[in-house]
Structure 1
Amino acid sequence: MPTIKRKWYPGASYHVTARGNHRNDIFKDKEDFLHYLTLMKETLGYYVYDKYEVISYCLMDNHVHILIRTEEKPLGQFIGRIHSKYAKYYNKKYNYIGHLFQDRYYSELIETDAQMLETSRYVHLNPVRAKMVKKPEAYEWSSYFVYVSGGKEELVCSNRILSYFKDKNRELYKRYVEFGT
C-alpha cells in the first residue's frame, strides 16, 4: 500500500509525533535525550536555507512531540534526517536490531491560530499529564523552560507563540499553559 503524501504548502506548520516501536523507550538515559536535541539543532543548521522553525518540543521516554513550521520545503527531509541519524546512533549504542520508531512519524497540519496555541500547550503539558512532573518547567526535555524563563533560544523560536500574547508576555503564556492542567 503506497504512503499517502502529506499536505504541504510554504509556511505550513505541523504537530509531529513519533513513537518507539511497540511503544518501547527511545530514550534510555540523559545522553540519548541530548543526542536527539543535538541532531535537531544540527539539522536546523544543515537545512538553514529551507527555513525550518522549531516552535516547541517535548521528548518523552517513548515518543517525541515537535511543533514545527516549514517555509521552503516539506517536512519529510527534516524529520527523516533526525530520525535516521538517531536510529543509527541508538542501534549502535544499544546493539539494537530493527525499527526504532513505530511506523512513519505522524504529522497534523496546524490550520488556525487557536490550534497552534492549543498544540503548544499540549506539547508542553505532556510530561505533567503523564504524571512525570507536577509543573511543566520541571521537565528537562521540553522547550517550556525557554518559553517561561526567556533563556537562550538555540533550538526553538518562541516568538511565533508569544506573539499571541500582549507584549509577548511570557507570564501570560505560562498562565495559559498551566490553566490547561
Structure 2
Amino acid sequence: MARKLRIWYTGAIYHVMCRGNRKKDIFLDSEDYQVYLKIVKKVKEELDFDIYSYCLMTNHVHLAIGTKDDDIGNIMKKINMLYSIYFNRKYDLIGHLFQGRYRSELIQEDKYILEVSRYIHLNPLRANMVTNAQDYKWSSYSTYLGLSKEKIINTERILSYFGEINARKSYKVFIDNGIR
C-alpha cells in the first residue's frame, strides 16, 4: 500500500517526531546529542528552513520546522540519514535506527504553533527527567529564556506573539501555565 503524501507548500510549518526503532534509544551519550544538532545545523545550511523549537529525548526527537524552498521530506530524509550513518558507524550496528519514517503534523494556526512549542519544551519535565524544563540540556527552551545562545533556532516568530517588552518572561509564564 502506498504511503499517504504529505501536504507541503513554501512556508509550511510542521511538528516532526522521530522515534527509535522498537522504541530503543537513539542517543547513548552526550556526543550523540551534539552530533545530531550539528547535523541539523549542517542540513539547515544546505536546505534553507527554520527550526522553531526542538527537544532531543533519549529515544525520540521533537522538532518544530518551518519550510522554505525545500519540502519537509527532503529535510528529514537528510537529517535522519546522516544521523543514522553516524550512529551505526559509532556503535558498529546495521539496519534501521528510526521506527519507520518520521511523523509530522502540519501546523496551520498560530495558536497551534504555540501549543506545539510548549509541548516540545515540557516533554522532559513530563517524562520526569528534570524538575525544571529549563534545566534540560537537549532542548531549545533555554534559548527562548535567553540563558543560552544557539545558532539553529529561530525564536523570533514564537516570541513575537508575546510582544516586544518582556517576551521571554511572558513565554516562560506561558510554558509554566502548561504544567498545571
TM-score range, shorter chain: over 0.9
Alignment of 1:24-39 (within 5 A): 24-39=24-39
State yes or no: 1:178 paired with 2:176: yes
* C-alpha distance in 1 between matches for 2:9 and 2:79: 21
Q: State the SS of the aligned residue for 1:122.
A: helix
The answer for the alignment partner of 1:82 in structure 2 is: 79
State yes or no: 1:91 paired with 2:88: yes
Q: State the SS of the aligned residue for 2:145.
A: helix
Which of 131, 140, 144 in structure 2 is aligned with 1:143? 140
* C-alpha distance in 2 between matches for 1:72 and 1:155: 17
Matched residue type, 1:172 = S
Matched residue type, 1:149 = G
Unaligned runs of 5+ in 1: none
Cα shift at 1:26: 0.2
Q: State the SS of the aligned residue for 1:76.
A: helix
Cα shift at 1:153: 3.3
The answer for the alignment partner of 2:106 in structure 1 is: 109
Paired positions, count: 178
The normalised TM-score by structure 1 is: 0.96
Q: State the SS of the aligned residue for 1:180.
A: helix
The answer for the alignment partner of 1:56 in structure 2 is: 53
Deviation string 1:112-162 (CA, Å, 9 cap, x unpaired) is: 011010000000000000000011110000000000016423010000100
The answer for the alignment partner of 2:156 in structure 1 is: 159
Cα shift at 1:74: 0.9
Identity rate, percent: 47
Alignment of 1:6-45 (within 5 A): 6-45=6-45
Matched residue type, 1:145 = S
* C-alpha distance in 2 between matches for 1:91 and 1:78: 20
The answer for the alignment partner of 1:133 in structure 2 is: 130
Cα shift at 1:164: 0.4
Matched residue type, 2:116 = T
Matched residue type, 1:41 = K
Deviation string 1:69-121 (CA, Å, 9 cap, x unpaired) is: 01212111111111101001111111112110001100000010110100000
User: Structure 1 stretches (4+) deviating beyond 2 angstroms?
Assistant: 150-153
Alignment check: 8 A CA contact 1:150 1:170 kept: no
